[in-house]
Structure 1
Amino acid sequence: MTTRGEQVRVTAHPQRDTGLTRAEVAERVEHGQTNELRERTSRSLGEIVRANVLTRFNAILGALFVLVMTTGSFADGLFGIVLVINSAIGIVQEYLAKRKLDRLALLNAPRTRVVREGQLSVIPTREVVLGDLIELRTGDQVPADGQLLSSVGLELDESNLTGEADPVHHAPGDEIRSGTTVVAGMGRFHASAVGPDAYVNRIAAEARRFTRTHSEIQASINKLLTYITWVIIVALPLQIWSQWRAVGGEGWRSVVIRSAAGLVGLVPEGLVLLTSIAFLLSAVQLTRKQVLVQQLPAVEGLARVDVVCLDKTGTLTVGDIAFEDVEALDGLSVEDLRDALGALADDPNPNGTLAAVAASLPAPGGWERTGTIPFTSERKWSAGCFGERGTWLLGAPEVLLPDGPGRARAAELAATGRRVVALACSDEHLTEPTLPSDLRPAGLVLLTEQVRDDAHETLRYFADQDVAIKVISGDNPQTVAAVARRVGLDPGAPVDARTLADDPESLREVARATTVFGRVTPEQKRALVHALQADGHVVAMTGDGVNDALALKDADIGVAMGNGAQATKAVAELVLLDGRFAHLPTALHEGRRVIGNVERVANLFVAKNAMSLVAIVATALMATAFPFLPRHLTLVSSVTIGIPAFFLALGPNRRHYLPGFLGRILRFAVPAGAVAGLAVIASYLIAGSHYGVPKDQFLAQCALTTGPVSPACWEPGTGATITLLVVFFAILSVLSRPFRLWKALLLGAMVTLAVLAIAVPFARDFFTFNAPARLVWESLAVGLVGAVLVELIHRVAGHHRADGGDAGHL
């Protein structure tokens, strides 16, 4: 069997124009000579399991779990079961999300036209095999390497390979490479290198790294985890040493159990899990709204966007233009112009304008095409040669018409919102994409664009959210401005991009002050995106054409239309599968929900870490036992952090994006956690001085591993746990604002569980609680003092500005 490594030495023999046979395709598939892409849209099941199980914090908790189990105190190993459940939830959630996203990505995977057994068919790009006869058309990505057999004005954007943005014309016999994009014309070639031997996979991988969406959440969480790791490294020996001093007389088992309790509190075991689940479920939710998320952080990224750049065609308008009429110039008859238009539109690879004309004007008889110059966005014109009937050109009026009445009339018509293209003629037979010297104006072709019925509402939504709109189009500026007015935008003075300077600073000034740009080249679209980014904006770019691909790739968030060019969808972070611009507000909501809710739950976890650190340091300084057993912190973490965080992470949240995610967390969670730690120590010392057993009897009556323990031994720990519950319920209450019915029910349910754990005999014995009435009131009083301080910290830290505004959502 031929291996992948040998494939590069395999040369496909010249194939017939009918392409490969089924037997030849099967043979190549058997030898592994396919274009199967190695890059996946999601992780494999094995990678999911490893990512959710083999983490540094799971390793720490796992080691502590094993140590606690060796002491025989199985109730204190409950955190290990929670750890397994958390990992299982993460694996199941990500796997289910992976299946949905993979199925959707498969449906929207790149496709390629191939000729096999004389029949042209469209297949997934990954099914292309060595030697396939491939047909390229405008908007396609070249899926493999090979030598061009035929070319009809084929031009490729090779910027991915060479960095040169200008399209490159290719003739039969030229070598073409995967990773390039067809911007004009059509052609056929045999695939001589596929899969890992072609450029496509390496280029795709490089492009993906280059356009990797920045996630403030992920970057902040990673930095936070680094901080916590160093805290654990320092706290680990300190906790073991202090507990050996305090309870070493009870034996090593007591030291292990008390040490484990403090260290378990330092581990944010559910934070990464809940962050991942929030991203994944948001992506799955968006797929139900016809939005394919190709990079999960893009959901968050869209919430940070403050400028949206729109390509008019396919975004503000439906994208399908309709032929309306033709006006003659220089005395030519309308009938002759209609015949010429019908002949031009009878093109095997028409662009959008020609396709619209073809839908209304049939091809006339007696017009034989002898040559074609395909349309490109750089030249802004196309041409067809028809022997004795001459050459007819269709393109932008400012390119094909001289200054004078014709161009003035075109501007007048464009100002009404119509799309106007010029028709010109020549006696020259064109073989190169150069305007003929005897170019004569012939007429004006009028086309209309249907404005999307949801565009006005969508743009008004963005205006309400303080998101600026920039309309960047290749069309006539006056036409673009007219469409902008129809959808409720104030276009101001539209700018013709041909007048723009290349200087970045002047471009920033124009981009800052202008709403509508016309006649923009692909490179200028990208330059405008760069100018807005240099001005401090987070930019989203939407588009559907090949000329949008460069700008989409460089924007912070690229949004492609599902009916757009394959090259455009390949570089976008989000794809609107049904092409509806109105889905963007939904994606924005999801991004805000993710950012706001992850911030909420991160505050809970970090507060617990800060509490544990303060308690560890305080007990070390006072040479006293750690206030809690692991089972106590398992209870507190479950009812005040774990369970509520899961619901809060998935609840609604429409808060506007605010920068400084990590700073806000640290400003609130660290002092709030410190207050909780100090309150716990105070409660523990107060309870220890009035309750429990005398110190000289503690070893005899309260050793954890020497037999039955007197219930009085449980009282100081019970008081500390009650205080901690009060303070953390206060933190949970602060982070749940503004309150809605579902949040009140959630908080009430968690308080009820905590009360039952202390009051119900079975649960009380399991968690080793003993709570005389006076102890309960004293512990509640200390907890209330801590709760008041939490409220003050909340106000000082400015969290009243950061709470999620989910009004009207339950």
Structure 2
Amino acid sequence: MNDTDQARRWCSLSIPEVSALLTGNDAGLDSADAGQRLSRYGPNALPSPRMPGFPHLFLRQFISPLIYVLLAAMVVSAVVGNPADATFIGLILLLNALIGALQEHQAQRSAQALRKLMVSHARVLRDEKISEIPAHELVPGDLVLLTSGDRVPADLRLLNSVGLEVDESVLTGESLPVFKNSDRLCEVDTPVAEQVNTCFAGTLVTAGRGRGLVTTTGMHTEMGKLSLTMESAQSARPPLFQRIERFSKKLMIALLFAVVLLAAIELARDTEPLVIFMTAVALAVSAIPEGLPMALTLVLSIGTRRMVKRHVIVRKLVAVESLGSCTVIATDKTGTLTENHLTAREMVFCDERSVTIDGGKLPSAANAPRHNNSLVIRLARVAALCNEAELRPLENGEWHSSGDAVDQALLVMAHKVGLQRHTLSGQWPLMAEVHYEPALGFAATLHGKPQGAGSLVCVKGALEKLLPMCDRMATADGDTSLDAAQVLSAMSRLAEQGARVLAFADGEGSAPEHFTAENLRGLCMLGLVAMFDPLRAGAADAVAECRAAGIRVCMLTGDHPRTALRIAQELRLADRDDNPVTGTHLAQAEARGPEALDALTADTRVYARVSPEQKLSIVQSLQRQGQFVAVTGDGVNDAPALSRAHVGVAMGEQGTEVAKESADLLLTDDNFASVVAGVEEGRIAYQNIRKVIFFLISTGAAEVMLFVLTTAFGLPLPLTPVQLLWLNLVTNSVQSMGLALEPGEGDEMRKPPRPPKESLFNPVMLRRVLVSGMVMGGLAFTCFYWLLQHGWEVDAARNSVLLLMVLFENVQVFNSRSETRSIFRQPFFSNPVLLLGTLFAQGLHILCLYSPLMQEVLGVSPVSAMQWSALLSIALLQLLAMELLLCWTRGWR
């Protein structure tokens, strides 16, 4: 078929027209014809994404503004004849890239372990016989046979169907199965969700059987079209990248200003240009946090491992922080907030009395409770007898159910009131039945009574179908004349709650040969059963936790607005007065322009009947408003929005492969509560990034202050470039690794999200860096000046200043553990790695003081215990300064 044929809307064609266009006969294809079509159209599969190799992942670690700065510093150091400096920087960059690449490679392997083939085989009619072939070998024109439990292998135009119901939630977001009718014709522009004579690739047959001709395969299916939409959606820049980029620009501006100021002072003194250049290089080395890229990678890697323990697999390191920075979570409903299976939750009787059914786990057969309410028993008996599903216990104590989703829910309901179908079937043997058909609207069974005393009719179905069959209704006082208005009122109340409602009736039966749909009369209306897709355990608490954390949760679903609103109210996402925004409202707003759409989405929390394209539009609208958006979903219909969001979260268990490949994070338990746990870990990771940055920048600021003061006073360089690199790359980095392992402070989910435009270098950090830099730099300069004034050699003075700076780092790393809490109010032993890292950094430096090789490289020498104690006393003044700053700004906590 050519492109024109591919664009044809098959749902609008009659069965003879479809058959003539695709095969010309009813016997399916022969193998030769199928082979030719496979060569022409290609395999029935979406292209598998090629996983980037390790070299690609390794090179990708160098794409960062901060890395560019360090690369420039390495080149400058090599050009001016400082190979040691260049080597140090190069080694740290290689180590950082190696850690990042290994972590992402491991994450990809974890993600690939979750991959499941969505369709493996399909039953087709080929060469005039039924065969089972790999689904990727299907071609347009193949005649496919569908039964309950099958995954639809391609887009099909149905030729016939018997009680066929299909779960299309992965494609449309609609949680309830769709009844299919092969004989009904649709208009050319009928939406996918309403094409009842067509089945789509990736959807699941939940009941019935059918036969259909393959119309499109691979990328031409509705699923394939959505995957193309996903590819065209441009991913948003992660929040951390945005903040690091702004931080790097500010750092470069500040560094350039300091270098120009220093050069101007030296030029005024007629200093040689080479000396000025070397001094500028030394200043740059002191200001640039060489250990920051490795520390960032380490923080994110640790966050990744912590998230795995909380059921979140990270596919991209930066997504750890992205989830913690989100201000809006746009979540799919079906399968994410809800269990994606029906549960019978309420019985409503004709006298308006009701009984709530426990939604917990099934009890064992021996412990099943027996209800005393005769009406409950009577209705549950009909629900269990007029039923084609199966429910049986397994050896491990769990239960296995199969069959139609509604029938499964009814069997579970009956079991919870003490009735088991296999027991009832022995007491009330089946004599005849009327199978459920969508056009019929009900199902009925005829059973022999115990001891052969007559027969019992059991009927279930739509209320409007059962009312004409009934002339009385059951009440607590016995059967009375039917009050149809009263029953319809109860039905209306349940419908307003978004429930799926079935009516039940029973009565005296006749002979099996006369048991037909037309002869069902004189029955007794028993009542109604309301079925819901229940919330996932912990979903409501997770939404409340998001609200406490200042995160707005929006629910996006293809379900009916009534159903969406009920779920939102149960989650406490919406009030009774709220009205969901529907796909129609979104389309009207989009037609008026982006401003109208942004006004509509600014405060909306519930969206219903939205298409995949509209989900993407909602995400883009929120991003235009300055929000950091996280999107959760499991279906193909969620893939474009997952790809475009700042961070996409896919369901790892039930999610489609297209959704998984679009996402940055995968949930191993498909639970929205795990998203919230990931937000908490992301916030902890961001806090730790800030702690590491403050530690590295504050010590770097102290070095800059030291250099500026010594230059202003015409003193020699207080530290050599190699000594600066020793501070920045070795002793600093060892301790920053400890900060990367800091546990949460406990209040992460009680704070609002960071403003999207806020820089890493916000006023709080700026104030702390300035005070730290001035105190440490000023004290180090005073020490250096005093030593030179008292006749110390320059190398000896540098030796003391280097040790003092290491001691300053040992103190400052504990000041960095919190922005708001006193060092004395933090659990001292909550981070043993930090303690060991600090001791290791100090011990390493002391070891170098006595190592002939390091004495030569660093220009150091041993110091006395008295000198070490004096320098430690000076370093502790930094602790006092930060405590005083904390008392002055926020009070003692």
Please tell me the TM-score bracket, short chain as reference: 0.5 to 0.7
Equivalent residue for 1:605? 696
Residue type matched to 2:108 in 1?
L
Return the alpha-carbon distance in structure 2 between the equivalents of residues 550 and 403 of structure 1: 48
Q: Which residue does 1:628 correspond to in 2?
A: 719
1:309-324, aligned counterparts within 5 Å?
319-321=340-342
After the TM superposition, which residues 379-398 of structure 1 pair with which residues of structure 2 at under 5 Å, given as runs? 394=462
Q: Measure how far apart 1:603 and its partner are.
A: 1.1
| CA distance in structure 2 between the partners assigned to 1:310 and 1:342 by the alignment | 35
What corresponds to 1:278 in structure 2?
A: 299
State the SS of the aligned residue for 1:632.
helix
**Corresponding residue to 1:356 among 409, 417, 420:** 409
Partner secondary structure for residue 743 of structure 2: coil
CA distance in 2, matches of 1:70, 1:471: 57
Aligned counterparts of 2:891 and 2:153: Cα–Cα separation in 1: 51
Letter in 2 for 1:45: F
> In the superposition, relative to structure 1, how do residues 668 and 496 fare at CA in structure 2: closer, same or farther (>3 Å)?
same
Supply the AA of the counterpart residue of 1:673.
G
Identify which of 98, 106, 115 aligns with 2:122: 115
Shift of 1:598: 0.8
Return the offset for 1:421.
1.1
Give the AA of the match of 1:228: L
Distance 2:803 2:69 in 1: 27
Query: 2: CA distance between counterparts of 1:31 and 1:478?
Result: 41
The reply to whether residue 592 of structure 1 matches residue 683 of structure 2 is yes
Establish whether residue 104 from structure 1 lines up as the match of residue 111 from structure 2: yes
1:730 partnered with 2:811: yes
- Deviation of residue 662 (structure 1)? 3.4
The two structures have a TM-score, normalised by structure 2, of 0.61
Q: Which residue of 2 aligns with 1:224?
A: 247
Residue in 1 that maps onto 2:288: 267
| 1:204 matched residue in structure 2 | 230
> What SS does the aligned partner of 1:662 have?
coil
- The answer (yes or no) to whether the contact 2:206–2:405 under 8 Å persists in 1 is no
Matching residue of 2:529: 445
Q: 1:458–1:585: 8 Å Cα contact kept in structure 2?
A: yes
SS of structure 2 residue aligned to 1:421? strand
Q: Establish whether residue 44 from structure 1 lines up as the match of residue 53 from structure 2.
A: yes
Deviation at 1:137, TM superposition (A): 11
Give 3-state SS (helix, strand or coil) of 2:670's partner: coil
**1:246–1:625 Cα contact (<8 Å) kept:** no
Aligned to 1:746: 837
C-alpha contact (below 8 Å) 2:650/2:659 kept by paired residues: yes
Q: Per the alignment, do residues 67 and 282 of structure 1 end up closer, same or farther by CA in structure 2, a change over 3 Å counting? A: closer
- SS of residue paired to 2:528: strand
CA shift, 1:444, in A, is 1.9
Equivalent in 102, 108, 113 of residue 95 of structure 1: 102
Deviations 1:328-372 (A, max 9, x none): 8799x9799759964799xxx987435535888899887677964
Q: Secondary structure at the match of 1:607?
A: helix
Give how far 1:691 is off.
3.3
Among the aligned pairs, what percent are the same residue? 18
Residue of 187, 190, 194 corresponding to 2:219: 194
Q: Is the 8 A contact 2:140 2:215 kept in 1?
A: yes
Task: Decide whether the 8 Å contact of 1:246 with 1:624 is kept in 2.
Answer: no
> 1:67·1:256 contact (CA, 8 Å) conserved in 2?
no
In structure 1, the partner of 2:736 is: 645
Partner amino acid, structure 2, of 1:356: A
Offset at residue 642 of structure 1 (A): 1.0
Question: Which amino acid in the other structure matches residue 283 of structure 1?
Answer: T
Distance 1:444 1:750, change over 3 A: same
Check whether the contact 1:271–1:601 (CA below 8 A) recurs between aligned residues.
yes
CA distance in 1, matches of 2:95, 2:502: 64
What's the C-alpha RMSD, in Å, of the aligned pairs? Answer: 6.6
State the Cα distance separating 1:223 from its structure 2 match: 0.8
Give the letter aligned to residue 231 of structure 2: A
Deviations 1:531-590 (A, max 9, x none): 999999988776768998999899987655545463876776644323345534542442
Flag the 1:171–1:87 CA change in 2: closer, same or farther, 3 A: same
Give secondary structure in 2 for the equivalent of 1:637.
helix
Counterparts of 1:455 and 1:159, CA distance in 2? 22
Tell me, yes or no, if the aligned pair for 1:20 and 1:131 is still in contact at 8 Å: no
Output one character per residue of 1:73-98: Cα deviation in whole Å (capped at 9) or x when no partner. 66x43x62354244234324432442
Aligned with 1:662 (options 746, 761, 772): 761
Q: How many Å separate the matches in 2 of 1:202 and 1:227?
A: 39
Matched to 1:49, the amino acid is: F
Alignment of 1:546-565 (within 5 A): 561-564=651-654
Within 1, Cα distance between the matches of 2:32 and 2:312?
Answer: 36
2:807–2:875: 8 Å Cα contact kept in structure 1?
yes
Q: Distance in 2 between matches of 1:499 and 1:257?
A: 66
Q: Which of 664, 684, 691 matches 2:784?
A: 684
Distance in 2, matches of 1:198 and 1:547, equals 11
Residues 683-736 of structure 1 deviation map (CA, whole Å, 9 limit, x = unaligned): 3333333234xxxxxxxxxxxxxxxxxxx3302322432343343333212012
The AA in structure 1 aligned to 2:667 is L
Task: Measure how far apart 1:455 and its partner are.
Answer: 6.5
Counterpart-to-counterpart distance in 1, 2:35 and 2:494: 54
In 1, the alpha carbon distance for the partners of 2:403 and 2:269 equals 84
Residue 772 of structure 2 aligns with an amino acid whose one-letter code is: A
1:578 aligns to what? 669
- In 2, the alpha carbon distance for the partners of 1:135 and 1:796 equals 76
1:115 counterpart SS class: strand
State yes or no: 1:767 paired with 2:858.
Answer: yes
Alpha carbons of structure 1 residues 179 and 413: separation in structure 2 relative to 1, 3 Å: closer
Query: In structure 2, the residue corresponding to 1:274 is in which secondary structure?
Result: helix
Gaps of 5+ in 1: 1-7, 374-381, 426-439, 693-711, 802-810
Report the Cα distance in structure 2 between the residues aligned to 1:777 and 1:165, rounded to whole angstroms: 83
SS at match of 1:422: strand
Structure 1 residue identity aligned to 2:794: C
Map of 1:436 onto structure 2: none
Q: Assess, with a 3 A threshold, how the Cα gap between structure 1 residues 483 and 65 changes in structure 2: closer, same or farther.
A: closer
Alpha carbons 2:170, 2:634 under 8 Å: kept: no
- Alpha-carbon contact 2:382-2:504 (below 8 Å) kept: no
For residues 150-205 of structure 1, the C-alpha deviation after alignment (integer angstroms, 9 at most, x for no partner) is 58798899999xxx99655447799x9x9999999996634456399964443112
In structure 2, the CA distance between the partners of 1:260 and 1:498, relative to structure 1 (3 Å rule), is closer
Corresponding residue SS for 1:111: coil
Q: Is the 8 A contact 1:308 1:470 kept in 2?
A: yes
How far the C-alpha of 1:597 sits from its partner, in A, is 0.7
Q: Which residue of 2 aligns with 1:437?
A: none
Deviation at 1:224, TM superposition (A): 0.5
In structure 2, the CA distance between the partners of 1:37 and 1:448, relative to structure 1 (3 Å rule), is closer
* Equivalent in the alignment of 2:13: none
| Counterpart Cα distance in 2 of 1:273 and 1:80 | 16
Check conservation: 1:410, 1:420, Cα contact below 8 A: no
Give the structure-1-normalised TM-score: 0.66
Residues 46 and 538 of structure 1: CA distance in aligned 2, closer, same or farther (over 3 Å): closer
Q: How far apart are the structure 1 equivalents of 2:327 and 2:103? A: 33
| CA contact 1:282–1:594 (8 Å) conserved in 2 | yes
Give the secondary-structure state (helix, strand or coil) at the position aligned to 2:859: coil
Q: How does 1:441-590 map to 2 (within 5 A)?
A: 444-447=528-531, 495=576, 521-523=608-610, 561-564=651-654, 566=656, 574-580=665-671, 583-584=674-675, 586-590=677-681
Q: Secondary structure at the match of 2:98?
A: helix
Shift in CA distance, 523/44, structure 1 to aligned 2, threshold 3 Å: same
